Amino acid sequence: MTAAHPAKARVVVTRALFPSHIQRLAEHFEVKDNQADRALDREALARLLEHAEGAIITGGDRIDADSLSLASHLRVIASVSVGYNHIDVPACHARGIVVTNTPDVLTETTADFGFALMMAAARRICEGERWMREGHWQRWELDQMAGADIHHTTLGILGMGRIGQGIARRARGFDMKVIYHNRRAQAPEIERELNAAWVSFDDLFRRSDHLVVVLPYTPEAHHLIGARELALMKTTATLTNIARGGIIDEPALVAALASGQLAAAGLDVYEGEPKVLPELLALKSVALTPHIASASRPTRDAMANLAIDNVIAVLSGKPALTPLEPD
């Protein structure tokens, strides 16, 4: 008598991945994918998770008690993201569900993009590109699209984690002075390596010529940067956000830019994304990108493969590679 093969575990994928990722998953699991990339509301997401043992999600999928209401078999949720404010991690852990994210693999790509977006805002690159496409360029003028220098200026970094450190390393090539703020200062050897100095929260805003936000989103960080903080900044300064939109009070940012309190901003993330405040869209002094800081093909491939590695590990009875801890 031929022994029956054990049934494959069921894994769902909530958004389109590269075909190679689906093929890899299919080697191990029974896969229900969403390669059509259909939008899933809360009810549809709950139904998708109902019979799954593993789920691969993205930052656009809200996982909370409601979406887990039918998920009695679910053992692991792997998010193709570093941020995890879209996941109610305690609710998952209460159900015995392991939650993972994808740190490290996107650090350098995101640091590249953060530095590029800062430069685009400072040098008015997006504004100049739109102006030129609209047919306004007729001749050279001394003050035409004159922006701010990057070299020999002071770079402020709010959140000196992996990505913040990557941005600080890039600043060395521009002879920038680097200051930063964390709740705790980095070790002296890291500060020496980065040639960076810890300063108080308020001093970071006062002293930065270019301030980059790389802070993880938490409830305490919601609207951490508002009218008071923006008023501390130099009128020649720029503010770049590649962290999470909710960290900045966007109406306050609009007011600061419109009044000239702040020279320019670079934004890759938004509080209500994919919706963006119309007032932000109307401002010429803002460089806007659609949450693409990690969007190089090699990096997105690595992120998805790390999520798959986590699902394979947990459903094979092994520890997750990058688990989010209960605390």
Domain boundaries, the chain: 10-105+297-315, 107-288
pLDDT attached to residue 326: 66
pLDDT tens string 239-250: 999 999 999 999
Mean pLDDT to the nearest integer, 29-35: 96
In the chain, the amino acid numbered 289 is T
Mean pLDDT of the chain: 95
Say if 10-105+297-315 and 107-288 have the same CATH topology. Answer: yes
Q: Strand, coil or helix: what is 178?
A: strand
Task: Give the model's pLDDT for residue 7.
Answer: 77
Whether the per-residue pLDDT at 224 is higher than 80: the answer is yes
Domain 10-105+297-315 has CATH 3.40.50.2300: no
User: Given pLDDT bands bounded at 50, 70 and 90, which one contains residue 325?
Assistant: confident
Task: Note the residue count of the chain.
Answer: 327
pTM comes to: 0.91
d(CA 304, CA 79): 9
Query: Is residue 90 predicted with pLDDT exceeding 90?
Result: yes
CB-CB contact of 257 with 264 (8 Å): yes
Q: What is the structure's pLDDT at 327? A: 55
pLDDT band at 6 (very low <50, low <70, confident <90, very high): low
Q: Specify the pLDDT at position 217.
A: 87
Report whether pLDDT(3) > 90: no
Q: What was the pLDDT predicted at 4?
A: 45
Decide if 29 contacts 9 (C-beta within 8 A): yes
Q: How confident is the model at residue 261 (pLDDT cuts 50, 70, 90)?
A: very high
- Per-residue confidence (pLDDT) for residue 1, from 0 to 100: 41
**pLDDT tens figures, 104-157:** 999 999 999 999 999 999 999 999 999 999 999 999 999 999 999 999 999 999
Using CA atoms in the order 162, 164, 168, 169, what is the torsion angle rounded to 10 degrees?
A: 30
Average pLDDT estimate for 179-196: 96
**Which residues carry out catalysis?**
244, 273, 291
How many other β-carbons are positioned within 10 Å of the β-carbon of residue 236?
A: 15
124-129: long-range contacts, CB 8 A cutoff, minimum separation 24:
124/264, 124/285, 125/287, 126/286, 126/287, 126/288, 127/284, 127/285, 127/287
Model confidence pLDDT, tens digit, residues 52-83: 999 999 988 999 999 999 999 999 999 999 98
- CA–CA separation, 327 and 325 (whole Å): 5
CATH number for domain 107-288, candidates 3.40.50.720, 3.10.180.10, 3.30.70.980, 3.40.50.1370: 3.40.50.720
